[in-house]
Structure 1
Amino acid sequence: MPETRPLRADPALLAAVADYFKVLSETSRLQILTCLKSGPMNVMEIAEATGLGQANLSKHLKVLTQAGILSRQPKGTSAYYEIADPMIFEFCELACDRVSQRVQQQAESLQALRERATVF
């Protein structure tokens, strides 16, 4: 397991971290990242895979590219997007695992409450 370092209290650094989380806080952007996990795709391929409209998709691709999460490679008349830093998937898997654990714990707590309620 990688060594963890405490967050530094530098407000500029914390603001940059908050901005990074904001980029990842949009479901459509997570959909885009998921479909790019298999490799580079052009806008039409991403639109087909995600069901997002082209204008909406372009907006999200721009945000992800500006954040350094995606890179854009022009090829002929198309542009292909790909993951710039594969570490994003480890980060997302860690977050998904934590959320899944929390949901499971909440479900177990709710089930225990239901079982106690039926006793009375």
Structure 2
Amino acid sequence: MIAGVQHTPPFFKPGDFMTEDRLQSTTCAQKLKALGEPLRLRIVDCLRAGPMTVSEICEAIETEIVTVSHHLGVLRNASIVERTKNGRFAVYRLSEGTLELAENAKSNDFIDLGCCRIEIPK
């Protein structure tokens, strides 16, 4: 103890961080890694408008279908997008709760990953 300086005990015990993973570190890291590719961010941005088929996404971001399909698979494995079948077409949408819409026109939307939020410009 330094003279004249009073040490205040921390509000947590030293072992607290090891017993509880409040950030859901593994899940959070998987989602952040999935969003770490520029093309995947562009796909997420496209899906903000609503559900789209793979072909529609390809057309919107001017990328080949095989590339878009691969990146959609990564986003799906990270639970950022969901896929439904509509006949022979796969339709993708952002997973429930992933997109948080702005409350007013001046605010930006957010991607909510559970552990953190990423602000998306309009």
What TM-score range do you get, normalising by the shorter chain? Answer: 0.5 to 0.7
The answer to which structure has the higher helix fraction is: 1
Distance in 1 of aligned mates of 2:97 and 2:53: 18
Equivalent position SS for 2:84: strand
C-alpha RMSD over aligned residues = 2.6
The answer to which structure has the higher strand fraction is: 2
Q: TM-score, normalised by structure 1?
A: 0.63
Aligned to 2:91: 80
Deviations 1:78-104, CA, capped at 9 Å, x for gaps: 11000113434513774457xxxxxxx
Would you say the 8 A contact 1:69–1:88 is kept in 2? no
Deviations 1:18-38, CA, capped at 9 Å, x for gaps: 221101111101100111111
- For residue 26 of structure 1, the aligned residue among 12, 15, 37 is 37
TM-aligned CA distance change 1:58 to 1:18, over 3 Å: same
Aligned to 1:61: 72
User: Aligned pairs, how many?
Assistant: 90
Would you say the 8 A contact 1:41–1:80 is kept in 2? yes
Distance in 1 of aligned mates of 2:95 and 2:28: 17
Aligned to 1:101: none
Distance in 1 of aligned mates of 2:60 and 2:97: 20
> Structure 1 vs Structure 2: percent identity of aligned residues?
33
Q: TM-score, normalised by structure 2?
A: 0.63
Unaligned runs of 5+ in 1: 1-7, 98-120
Distance in 1 of aligned mates of 2:36 and 2:28: 12
Distance in 2 of aligned mates of 1:26 and 1:39: 21
Unaligned runs of 5+ in 2: 1-16, 101-109
Distance in 1 of aligned mates of 2:48 and 2:83: 15
